[in-house]
Amino acid sequence: MFTATGDDWADRAAALSLHTRMFIDGSWEDGTAEPLAPISPRDGRALPPIAAASAADIDRAVRSARAAFDAGVWSRIAPRERGQRLIAFAQKIHDNAEELALTISLEMGKPVREALQTELRAVVNCFRWYGEAADKVLDELPVTAPNSLALVTREPAGVVAAVVPWNFPLTMTAWKLAPALAVGNSVVLKPAEHTTFSALRLAELAHEAGLPAGVLNVTPGAGHVAGRALGEHPDVDVVTFTGSPEVGRRFLGYAAASNGKRVWPELGGKTASLVLPDADLERAVRATADGCFYNQGQMCTASSRLLVPRAQYDRALEIAAEVARTSLPADPFDVSTSMGAIVSEKQLAGIAGFVERAVADDAELAAGSTERFSAVDGGSYFAPVVLGVTPAHEVAQREVFGPVLSVIAYDDVDDALAIANGTEYGLAAALWSTDLNAVHTLSRRLRAGVVWVNCFEEGDMTIPFGGVKGSGFGRDKSLHAMEKFTDLKTTWIELS
């Protein structure tokens, strides 16, 4: 399991039967908005059109979610039972992992091997983890005077809207759905336009695993129509969102203008990988470049800024350029491929624009080019780029969401910290050193939600994931994520 083999993935993709309708109240329905017209970035081929939700369709989905919640078919069953069905859901995903991985690869271009090995493994693990946790979180019994009894309990919030991006489509979805469902909510999921097929298949598997009708609805559609309608809906209690800072802030606005619903934004990043003078430079630079190019650089945590002591700058640029030159894109359906296609032509043009402007602004182009790369005819490919830049360069400040690494020289530790903290973002950071004192003092001063030391992208379900500053304040994963989807209730009882 979770190991992609064989060379027949293109044939298998052609034979996939893809869902193209919305999943509302346990059945497949047509949408009343302009259908989505997805394109596979692997080869530019048109995929089947998908029904898209209008505000009226979203209203129907929210009503269904509310009715299921009020009926108690999920919200008031024993937590143990909810947990068991989530574990059954995880098993269904496990049993269909190859098909789901292939669907993701087809719709957004990541290598099928990565989709299976990394993404599907994480998704199965996430649903299992929250399924197991469902009946292991305790409420509180405060210490009171003898004539009273106080209960502090956590109640499910009600209807949760989940709006997610396309880069790790099912992982992000699992991070939202699993904790929200584990504590008893009903959910309406709006997948990203590029990754709707995989989300619809997930809904079907959830239904097969015993989630009652209305507990999980999937409403495909355009962000500014379907996403916005969820954000503005007066009967949605919580929005959990992963995506760009711009859209995240819109959701805060939708909430303010409607019912004051809770919004949990998990937004972009501009991760600094800070290499201290004592570190193993080669190892740190290689890991940083890999962390920047992974998933075609379409990662909120992408280690897109490499900070090195000025004396080691030339050597660092050389090593990073070598990694870039040996990480070229190839056919996502070839199991030996580690870098696939960029999600869309629009995204590709955006990435190339960042590189063009950097070069025009005197950045040093150490690897890659401003031109697209050719891997599969008709597809959207872009080879990794390494740039030598100053902290003020646009490319060192803004999120590219593509395989573009900025290498920056620093003079001393205070300078390095100022550069690391000197963007609008604060999602993650990495530190490379074996000096215990430096590691602890610097990690405290880094303004980031996650700090990796002598590693990159490590972790498991037990740790919270999310950012500070412009990266938002929501946290996925860990038991803390369950709190986002509950309300505290106090019951005070006078005893006579």
* Whether 394 is catalytic: no
**What is d(CA 418, CA 104) in angstroms, rounded to the nearest whole number?**
39
**Amino acid identity of 388?**
G
Name residues whose C-beta falls within 8 Å of residue 247's C-beta, 6 or more positions apart in sequence: 223, 227, 241
Q: Which of 300, 308, 342, 429 binds ligand NAP (CB under 6 A)?
A: 300
Note whether 222 binds ligand NAP by CB under 6 A.
Answer: yes
Phi, psi of 142 (to 5 degrees): -65, 155
The least distance separating ligand NAP from the CB of residue 241, rounded to whole angstroms, comes to: 7
Shortest gap between Cβ of 392 and ligand NAP (angstroms)? 21
Query: Contacting ligand NAP (CB under 6 A), which of 74, 401, 410, 456?
Result: 401
The site map against ligand NAP for 425-444 (x = CB under 6 A) is --x-----------------
The footprint of ligand NAP on this chain (CB under 6 A) covers a number of residues equal to 28
Residue 30 burial (CB count, 10 A): 11
Q: Does 348 bind ligand NAP (CB under 6 A)?
A: no
Nearer to ligand NAP, 85 or 190 (CB): 190
Verify binding: residue 291, ligand NAP, rule CB under 6 A: no
- Closest CA relative to residue 340, chosen from 378, 302, 305, 297: 297
- The catalytic position among 266, 292, 399, 457 is 266
Show contacts with ligand NAP in window 168-197 (CB under 6 A): 172, 190, 192-193
Per-residue binder mask for ligand NAP (CB under 6 A), 4-43, x = binder:
----------------------------------------
Q: Which is nearer to ligand NAP, 131 or 231 (CB)?
A: 231
- H-assigned helices in 382-447: 394-397, 413-420, 436-445
Q: Is 81 a catalytic residue?
A: no
In the list 247, 351, 419, 442, the residue contacting ligand NAP (rule: CB under 6 A) is 247
3-state class of 408 per DSSP?
strand
Among 179, 184, 268, 388, binds ligand NAP (CB under 6 A): 268
Parallel/antiparallel/unpaired status of strands 364-367 and 385-388: antiparallel
Q: Is the CB of 107 or the CB of 331 nearer to ligand NAP?
A: 107
Cα-only R_g, the chain: 23
- Locus of tokens 């980031």: 448
The two structure tokens encoding residue 298: 């379409």
Neighbours of 300 (CB within 10 A): 27
Cβ at position 59, least distance to ligand NAP in Å: 16
Q: Are 20 and 48 in contact (CB under 8 A)?
A: yes
d(C-alpha 396, C-alpha 394), whole Å: 5
Which of 227, 291, 309, 403 touches ligand NAP by CB under 6 A?
Answer: 227
Task: Answer yes or no: are the C-beta atoms of 298 and 343 closer than 8 Å.
Answer: yes
The distance of closest approach from Cβ of residue 220 to ligand NAP in the complex, given in angstroms and rounded to an integer, is 8
Which residue(s) pair with 388 in the sheet? 364, 407
Beta strands 486-494; 148-156: pairing state: antiparallel
Q: Which residues of 465-493 are buried (b: 16+ CB within 10 A; e: fewer)?
A: bbbebbbbbbbbbbbebbebbbeeeeeee
Among 32, 244, 421, 443, binds ligand NAP (CB under 6 A): 244
Among 43, 114, 331, 399, interactor with ligand NAP by CB under 6 A? 399
Which pair of tokens denotes residue 249?
């802030």
Only one of the segments 99-107, 148-156, 203-211, 260-268 lies at the binding site for ligand NAP (rule: CB under 6 A); that segment is 260-268
Catalytic positions: 266, 300
Residues lying near ligand NAP in the complex (CB under 6 A)? 163-167, 172, 190, 192-193, 222-224, 227-228, 231, 242-244, 247, 250, 266-269, 300, 399, 401, 427
